Amino acid sequence: MTPQTRETAGAVRSAHVAYFLPPDWTRVARLAIPALERMTADGGTRLLLLVPDAGAALALAQAVSALPSAAGHRIVAATTPARATRLLSAGPAAVVIGAPAALAPALGASALKLDAVTQVGFASADEMDADDPALAAVLAEVPKGAAKFLTALEATAGVEALLERHLHKARRVVDDVAPATGTGAVAQVRALLVAGAVGPAIASVLDEVDAPSTTILAADAAGAAEATAVLRAIGYDSGALVQVAQDRVEAHAALVVLIGVPTATAWGSVVAAAPAQVVAIIPARQRAALQRLAGEVPVLPFAAKGAAARARAAEAKLRAEVRAVLDAGVPAREVLALEPLLESYDGLEIAAAALRLLERSRAGLTDAVQAAEKRVREAMTESARAEAPAREGRRDEGRDRDRPPRAGFAPRGERFERGPRSDRGDRGARPERGPRPDRGDRDDRGPRSGPPRSGPPRSGAPRSGPPRGGAPRAGGPRRDGPRTPR
């Protein structure tokens, strides 16, 4: 099936085009080649590509940078508002790619100018919000004569709103995304979701499946070159065991590995080859396109051996618990309770229902324990929050309790102001001192006034025994009589 162009009913040929294809950034980047070829190096932003999020902006910027026509042109991927404003303030970019929420602040800061834009692209428009104020603010700065194109997997209500508001009377080009009726289906389709390079994913798929013959079907030349480099690195030099194709799959391949979402024509060759298993290595946003190709066959996640081994170990543990109960003796009460169900259900079905009830009760117990822990933490938090004012009050009370103020000191928190000497209070008048009498020499003093001293006079016989302090005085015994002046 080849791409089909469907004109809008009753409309003339328009400069706006709507492409309905998978969210493959390599395909979207090729739609910008005409604008890149007409671009000159006179400065200013010429091509504006709007995407849903930062991851899409980075992936599309990488795909556009790989085009030969993009050589020599500055490309800026606006992943965050701050980074976009800083990069665009440093100098103009010929190609700006980003989400409206990341570009609107740069417009407000006058870092981004869109008055020279000649083409605007809406990539993965089915993931955008037609009523986004940031989108309206960005498109208000774009010249009216700029050509626009849109890509989406299918025409949803939001896509139709974008077409009506910004791409009026746009031509609709339907890509080769849906298989023709009667092409059949494959036995099993699994998806390995990746966010970056597919090289490690290819090696892991080959290690997990270990099929006798494998065909890797790439959506473009870049994917085919990457797959070939990975195969050469892990030892597949010849194409006897693993082949790399881009258009069709040879018959009788045990495993088909898809790099990206193939076209409907390539998918028809996959179905005709009747492989035992199909594994698609795709980004998460391409899963819906892959499911559309697979039709009624569900796209299941690709599980590694480690995850499968852990699941089997858990099931074996559960069977061991049931076996232990049976070995201990069949409980009569439970048998009597379940015996009426044997009239309508098989015994294995009853046991499976019992296991489901057991798992549900265990899950409920875990939830109850987590809820109880949460309530305890909340109660402790509320208790601490309620006790905080009381602790503060006790601390303030101990700090500011009433104490008798000391004389000459101000209470805590108040500044003491000294007044004039006359305001310190009446302390009583001091008597004025007269002139001190002349006492003369201490040795010329007269007899001591007052009552006579009790005890024997000093002029008596010398004391018996050693003098005070233990050892005798160095100058000999104390002499009697009056002291001579020194």
Take residue 322 and report the two structure tokens written for it.
């049931």
DSSP secondary structure letters along 178-207: SPPTT----S-EEEEE-SS-SHHHHHHHHH
Q: 227-284: per-residue pLDDT in tens?
A: 889 888 888 876 778 888 888 887 778 889 999 888 888 888 888 888 888 999 998 8
Which of these, 180, 146, 196, 192, lies nearest to 166 by C-alpha position? 146
* Contact assessment for residue 73 and residue 145, using Cβ atoms and an 8 Å cutoff: no
What is the CB neighbour count within 10 angstroms for residue 46? 23
Residue 216 · residue 239 · CB < 8 Å: no
- The predicted-structure confidence for 377-386, as pLDDT tens digits, reads as follows 888 888 888 8
- Taken in order 118, 124, 129, 131, is the CA torsion positive or negative? positive
Helices (H), 274-304: 287-294
Give the tens place of pLDDT for each residue, 91-100. Answer: 889 999 999 9
Asked if 290 and 283 count as a contact pair (C-beta separation under 8 A), the reply is no
Rounded to an integer, what distance in angstroms lies between the CA atom of residue 403 and that of residue 381? 37
Cross-strand pairs, 223: none
CA distances from 208 to 51, 238, 255 (A): 35, 21, 11
Give percent of the chain with pLDDT exceeding 90: 27
Cα–Cα distance between 321 and 399 in angstroms, integer? 65
The reported pLDDT for the residue numbered 159 is 93
What tens digit of pLDDT does each residue of 465-481 get?
Answer: 555 555 555 555 555 55
Nearest-CA neighbor of 218 among 234, 204, 201, 233? 201
Among 126-135, 309-318, 450-459, where is mean pLDDT lowest? Answer: 450-459
Query: Is residue 311 pLDDT above 90, yes or no?
Result: no
- Cβ(47)–Cβ(177) below 8 Å: no
Q: Which tokens in the block code for residue 325?
A: 């109960």
pTM assigned to the model: 0.60
39 DSSP 8-state letter: -
Short-list 178, 179, 206, CA closest to 192? 206
Work out the number of other CB atoms within 10 angstroms of the CB of residue 297: 15
Asked if residue 314 has pLDDT above 70, the reply is yes
Q: What is the pLDDT of residues 125-134, one digit of tens each?
A: 999 999 999 9
Mention every residue, 6+ apart, whose C-beta is less than 8 A from residue 137.
100, 104, 107
320-377 tens-digit pLDDT: 888 887 788 777 777 788 888 888 888 888 888 888 888 888 888 888 888 888 889 8
Residue 434: both structure tokens together: 């007269």
> What is the rounded CA–CA span in Å between residue 218 and residue 225?
9
- Taken in order of first residue, the domains within the chain and their CATH numbers are 4-174 (3.40.50.300), 189-302 (3.40.50.300), 315-343 (no CATH)
Whole-Å CA distances, 280 to 107, 287, 291: 40, 9, 11
> Radius of gyration (Cα) for the chain, nearest Å?
49
Going by the DSSP 8-state scheme, the letter that residue 252 receives in this structure is S
